[in-house]
Amino acid sequence: MSCSLSLQVMRLLLRCFVARVAHTPVPCRRMGATGMTPDKLVSYWQKVFHKYGIPEAKDSSRILVAHALGAKTFYGIGSRAARSPVSADQLLFVEKMAQQRLKRVPVQYIIGEWDFLDMTLEMRPPVLIPRPETEELVGLVISDCEGLRHSSETTILEVGCGSGAVSLALLRKFPQMRVIAIDKSEAAVSLTKDNAERLGLRHRIHILQHDILTDPVERLQDLGAVSALVSNPPYIFTEDMTQLEPEILR
């Protein structure tokens, strides 16, 4: 074993020791980089996640390993690369991300991004992660607003923009449209702005921190008339909160 690899393994063991002292249920195994392939890494962490009750253990393992290897999906790695040994740095990167997953941090927050329809959006807590049902909502809005596709005066107001997923998806589908996106959360407004910049759509969207229940309605009236209103707010009853998975409850 080379000197550099020995140092890497020692660091791994040290982190596992610290985690054990803190009484955190973290698996520790002396894994050398030699011979450890992406396939084997997925299999190993899938078993660990399953042991500790992590939902979607296989998918989580594949996403983290793919991300460490610079791919969007595990299949994107390629069959040959999936059977080739990973580097010591890649091994440690997967281990670091896996420790976060064991603490029930969603994979979207761990890798810092997520695909939504034809977009890749930045993701960061505490902004909620868009779900597949959110994609269905975008489809419904597109269907209902089809007649507005070529109008240069079409403006849609989204209440509760979160990561900006809905607003930005609509802007990509309707090239002539403008969007007003509001959210009461400063973190959500900031993330929507960053995603709009990332997709080159910042010039077509007005993003505003605004609470529709407490802030003056005149702030929105001053922005002019809108053609449609869309909203996908949190909809979980308070009495159901205790039944949520930790990833959502936090």
Separation of alpha carbons 35 and 32, rounded Å: 8
Give me the pLDDT at residue 234, please: 77
For residues 238 and 150, the model is more confident at: 238
* Residue ranges per structural domain of the chain: 3-111, 131-249
- CATH placement of domain 131-249: 3.40.50.150
Reported as a single tens digit per residue, the pLDDT across 67-95 is 999 998 898 888 888 888 999 999 999 99
Reported as a single tens digit per residue, the pLDDT across 2-56 is 444 444 544 554 454 444 433 344 544 445 555 789 999 999 999 999 999 999 9
Give me the pLDDT at residue 150, please: 73
Mean pLDDT of 126-138: 93
For residues 131 and 97, the model is more confident at: 97
CA 103 to chain centre: 16
Give me the pLDDT at residue 239, please: 82
Mean pLDDT of 190-195: 98
Give me the pLDDT at residue 152, please: 73
Separation of alpha carbons 193 and 174, rounded Å: 19
The model carries a pTM of 0.81
The secondary structure of the chain, three-state, reads: CCHHHHHHHHHHHHHHHHHHHCCCCCCCCCCCCCCCCHHHHHHHHHHHHHHCCCCCHHHHHHHHHHHHCCCCCCHHHCHHHHCCCCCHHHHHHHHHHHHHHHCCCCHHHHHCEEEECCEEEECCCCCCCCCHHHHHHHHHHHHHCHHHCCCCCCEEEEECCCCCHHHHHHHHHCCCCEEEEEECCHHHHHHHHHHHHHCCCHHHEEEEECCCCCCCCHHHHCCCCCCEEEECCCCCCHHHHHHCCHHHHC
